[in-house]
Amino acid sequence: MVITIEKGTEHDIKELGCLYDTVCDYLEHNVNYPGWKKGIYPAEEDAVQGVQEGNLYVARHDGRIIGTVILRHTPEDAYAKADWGIDLDYDHIFVIYTFAIHPDYQNKGVGRQMMEFIIDHSKKMNAKAVRLDVYEKNAPAIGLYKRFGFQYIDKVDLGYGDFGLEEFELYQKIL
């Protein structure tokens, strides 16, 4: 399947909100590996912020948004508790946020193509590492990250215990 990946724009926000809702609806009726909740996270406001910051990317197939990711230089506060094994300033690190794929396009190579984009884009931007957090029970995502050479770093509490999400695993890929 051929997809294109490009920066999201203001014109994409409504479609991104629908994508987030579709993913959350699907997760609610299946295994909710990431623990996402419709209207809470991810939500249209996350797309607005990502577009405004200029770091939200969309994957398109036949003109339709089928995936998205936000790449920031800002980590969650709990990242500071981990020993990353390398001393880098976050100006040289991308942190993956809100990596979502439409349920109709899961297990069709879209996640692989998006990960290839993330790594290639990070290298082009002279990043030294890519970091992320993932809910500890999100086995499909963890498997994808490991296939792309991400190394487990630590487990942390990101403060989402009220949503039943106690611990998140931190991963890093040195570029």
**CATH number of the CATH domain containing 32:** 3.40.630.30
Only one residue has tokens 């040195």, namely: 174
**Does residue 138 lie within any of the structural domains?**
no
Q: Is residue 61 part of a domain?
A: yes
For residue 134, the SS3 value is strand
The reported pLDDT for the residue numbered 1 is 86
Under a CB-based contact definition with an 8 Å cutoff, are residues 75 and 130 in contact?
no
Position 154 in a domain: no
Q: How many domains does the chain have?
A: 1
Domain range enclosing 59: 4-128
User: Residue 58's pLDDT is what?
Assistant: 98
In a domain, 70, yes or no: yes
The single-letter code of the amino acid at 30 is N
Write out the two tokens for 170: 């931190």
Give the pLDDT confidence score for residue 29 in this predicted structure. Answer: 95
3-state SS of 71-90? EECCCCHHHHHCCCCCCCCH
pLDDT of residue 165: 76
**Local confidence pLDDT in tens for the 175 residues of the chain:** 889 999 999 999 999 999 999 999 999 999 999 999 999 999 999 999 999 999 999 999 999 999 999 999 999 999 999 999 999 999 999 999 999 999 999 999 999 999 999 999 999 999 999 999 999 999 999 999 999 999 999 999 887 767 777 899 999 999 9
State pTM to two decimals.
0.95
Report d(CA 157, CA 78) in Å as an integer.
Answer: 7
